[in-house]
Structure 1
Amino acid sequence: MVTFASADEIVAMLEVMLEEDWMGLPVWARNLAFRLACLQRPKDAELLHWAANDLRAFGPDWNTIAAELHHRADQLEAGHEENRP
């Protein structure tokens, strides 16, 4: 269901799931959910920061991706949108 859900539906699910039991959603599922939501909302700085923080919580394997997401979000917040596909 997540694969074809809208970003609003994915974000709502993440909010509920992570509030109820922060570790209840497997890491692979939360990474997929955040990725799909970010792909649908590439200019949502708040979502990008949230996704980056979630990645950092699960180890150094994703720190580079998290840093890129934070950088992109910071650029959006500063009004310096980068030309990205």
Structure 2
Amino acid sequence: MSDLPARMRRAVPEYRADATAQECMGAILEFVEAVTFADPDELLVALREVIGEHWPGLPPYARNLAYRMVCLQRPDDVDLLREAAADLLAFGPDWDDEAEELQRRADLLDPRP
């Protein structure tokens, strides 16, 4: 079983209230490394699990990186592109342009009414 959900949780400040700044930075670096090399299925399961536990808890940088890595590995997964776009829009407006691009790509692959 993957430890990716645990690494994600350790990168969330709310889960680490008693941690030092150095421990938090280490957890973030560990998270980035794990996400960078994760299998897309494993990454999606972990992402959805952690977000499901505490939706706003996973910081936008972590969500964006995780969704970006999965979308790069599955560029033609329409549902994933739409899911990632919706997540970006929830934390905008900084990422609205990227969200609109993901939605545009999804619509080109599968134009739903």
TM-score bracket for the superposition, by shorter chain length: 0.7 to 0.9
Deviations 1:18-74 (A, max 9, x none): 111001211100100000000000000000000000000112111111011001001
**Number of matched residues?**
78
| Structure 1 alignment gaps of length 5 or more | 79-85
Find runs of 4+ consecutive structure 1 residues off by over 2 angstroms. none
Q: Which amino acid aligns with 1:5?
A: A
Give 1:77 deviation, angstroms. Answer: 1.0
Query: Who is 2:92 aligned against?
Result: 59
Q: How does 1:18-29 map to 2 (within 5 A)?
A: 18-29=51-62
Correspondence 1:39 to 2:42: no
CA RMSD across the alignment:
0.8
Which has the greater radius of gyration? 2
Q: What fraction of aligned residue pairs are identical, expressed as a percent?
A: 55
Unaligned runs of 5+ in 2: 1-33
TM, length-normalised to structure 2: 0.67
Residue of structure 1 equivalent to 2:105: 72
Q: Which residue of 2 aligns with 1:82?
A: none
